[in-house]
A and B are shown apart, each in its own frame.
Chain A
């Protein structure tokens, strides 16, 4: 396989990136220190800068044409930039500061291109094109790091949302045989599904005959929420557990009536305390104050 001859500009840029990488890295690191030192700890990011130049060198040794963004040859560079943006995020840099960090490679690169052009006879004519190729290449590296930064942040947010989904639906044991799920916030479909499943699992696991679903923290009970609640109650019933829905505040009760929702099949209570009392009662417990003789 033969590689096509690169343009003179690409050849010049390639030569600098390949042969002068040590000089470039030193100058780049110095620029980073000037820009960030004191304010941010960019030691890890600097290490990634070195790795980036190494990765660039590896690609150019195989083919002196500058790898365009999105191509297969770009992938190793992107991988390093993902690491770099992660280090930057950890050091407290913003996405634009991260891109700036990459852009700081430009000055050293331009300096070396100019020096090389001056050294070689007739090198000056390729210089403008090489500078243009260099600025385009570094821009793409910077933008990639910017995108990688945002992508990683989205990943973090998504992971946190998933965790929240599980965190916010704990099934707790209130008493032997009595479970409770305190629901808080919007009962969107995804979360309701999680609640329903974890409650049913816990019912099987503990063989609890009573479960209280507390909706004190749910601001709106519409037909969708009601449908989910009724399904959960029905499924629990099939597994031998009786459900009580608590936390039906006056405004919710009135709204439910107007909507035409029929909750007559389900025991409902205004507060969790009321529900617990009913559950204890049905389980054969008696709650009374002690200490004062009758």
Chain B
């Protein structure tokens, strides 16, 4: 996978993460709806990395599977990790002052969603949306 990298530590970085994702989604030939879904999911995950994960890094690139092309995005941080994943996925659950929708919503907006996390071990989330 070719790699685009964005350091995530501020609001502006989240904007940059969206731009990189949008560009790749266009390159992968995703339709406008699919672009929007992926970009929105990445916006949520990248902001979680900034707010809950204490900052981290995003990597993004195209992926191929036979005739299909997709965009894969990974958000990684060395933050506190997520102790109770089921709760984190629950709509309305937040430890901050958000709506508590981003994490579960992001999962519904992509095709593949993979989480690696443990308390004190940081969080790595990889998502793919196919064209």
How many A-B contacts are there with CB distance less than 8 Å?
66
Chain A residues 160-207 with CB under 8 Å of chain B are 186, 188-189
Q: Which of A186, A188, A227 contacts B99 (CB 8 A)?
A: A227
A250-B33, A259-B102 are known; give 7 further A-B pairs, CB within 8 A. Answer: A188-B11, A188-B12, A224-B98, A251-B36, A251-B37, A259-B40, A259-B44
- Tell me whether B108 and A223 are in contact (CB under 8 A): no
Q: Contacts A259-B105, A259-B109 given; indicate if A223 touches B18 (C-beta within 8 A).
A: no
**Chain B interface category by residue count:** 20 to 34
Q: Which of A186, A189, A224, A255 contacts B36 (CB 8 A)?
A: A255
The 4 tightest CB contacts between A and B, nearest first, are A259-B105, A251-B36, A222-B43, A251-B33
Inside 8 A of B15's CB, which chain A residues have their CB?
Answer: 186, 188
Chain B interface residues (CB < 8 Å from chain A): 11-12, 15, 18, 22, 32-33, 35-37, 39-40, 43-44, 47, 91, 98-99, 101-102, 104-105, 108-109
- Tell me whether A222 and B33 are in contact (CB under 8 A): no
Q: Contacts A188-B12, A260-B91 given; indicate if A222 touches B37 (C-beta within 8 A).
A: no
- Bound together, the chains give a CA A188 to CA B15 distance in angstroms of 8
Inside 8 A of B109's CB, which chain A residues have their CB?
Answer: 255, 258-259
Closest to B35 in A: A251
- Bound together, the chains give a CA A55 to CA B109 distance in angstroms of 65
Q: Digitize A211-231: 1 where CB-to-B-CB distance is under 8 Å, 0 elsewhere.
A: 000000001111110110000
Q: Contacts A260-B105, A260-B108 given; indicate if A255 touches B11 (C-beta within 8 A).
A: no
Which secondary structure characterizes the binding site on chain B?
A: helix
- Tell me whether B101 and A261 are in contact (CB under 8 A): yes
- Bound together, the chains give a CA A252 to CA B40 distance in angstroms of 9
Interface residue A2 (Cβ < 8 Å from any Cβ of B): no
A286 CB, min distance to chain B CBs, angstroms: 36
- What are 12 sample pairs from A and B whose C-beta atoms fall under 8 A apart? A186-B15, A189-B11, A220-B43, A221-B40, A222-B40, A223-B44, A252-B36, A254-B37, A255-B37, A259-B102, A259-B109, A261-B101
Inside 8 A of A221's CB, which chain B residues have their CB?
Answer: 40
B27 CB, min distance to chain A CBs, angstroms: 17
B130 CB, min distance to chain A CBs, angstroms: 16
- Tell me whether A259 and B108 are in contact (CB under 8 A): yes
Chain A interface residues (CB < 8 Å from chain B): 186, 188-189, 219-224, 226-227, 250-252, 254-255, 258-261
- Tell me whether A223 and B39 are in contact (CB under 8 A): no
Q: Which of B12, B22, B105 contacts A223 (CB 8 A)?
A: B105
- Tell me whether B101 and A260 are in contact (CB under 8 A): yes
Residue from B15, B98, B105, B109 having most chain A Cβ neighbours under 10 A = B105
Closest to A258 in B: B108
- Tell me whether A223 and B98 are in contact (CB under 8 A): yes
Inside 8 A of B99's CB, which chain A residues have their CB?
Answer: 223, 226-227, 261
Inside 8 A of B102's CB, which chain A residues have their CB?
Answer: 222-223, 259
Q: Which of A186, A250, A251, A259 contacts B101 (CB 8 A)?
A: A259
Q: Which of B37, B39, B43, B47 contacts A258 (CB 8 A)?
A: B37
Closest to B100 in A: A223
- Bound together, the chains give a CA A95 to CA B102 distance in angstroms of 45
Residue from A186, A254, A260 having most chain B Cβ neighbours under 10 A = A260
Inside 8 A of B11's CB, which chain A residues have their CB?
Answer: 188-189
- Tell me whether A224 and B105 are in contact (CB under 8 A): no
- Tell me whether B98 and A227 are in contact (CB under 8 A): yes
Residue from B33, B36, B37 having most chain A Cβ neighbours under 10 A = B36
Inside 8 A of A188's CB, which chain B residues have their CB?
Answer: 11-12, 15
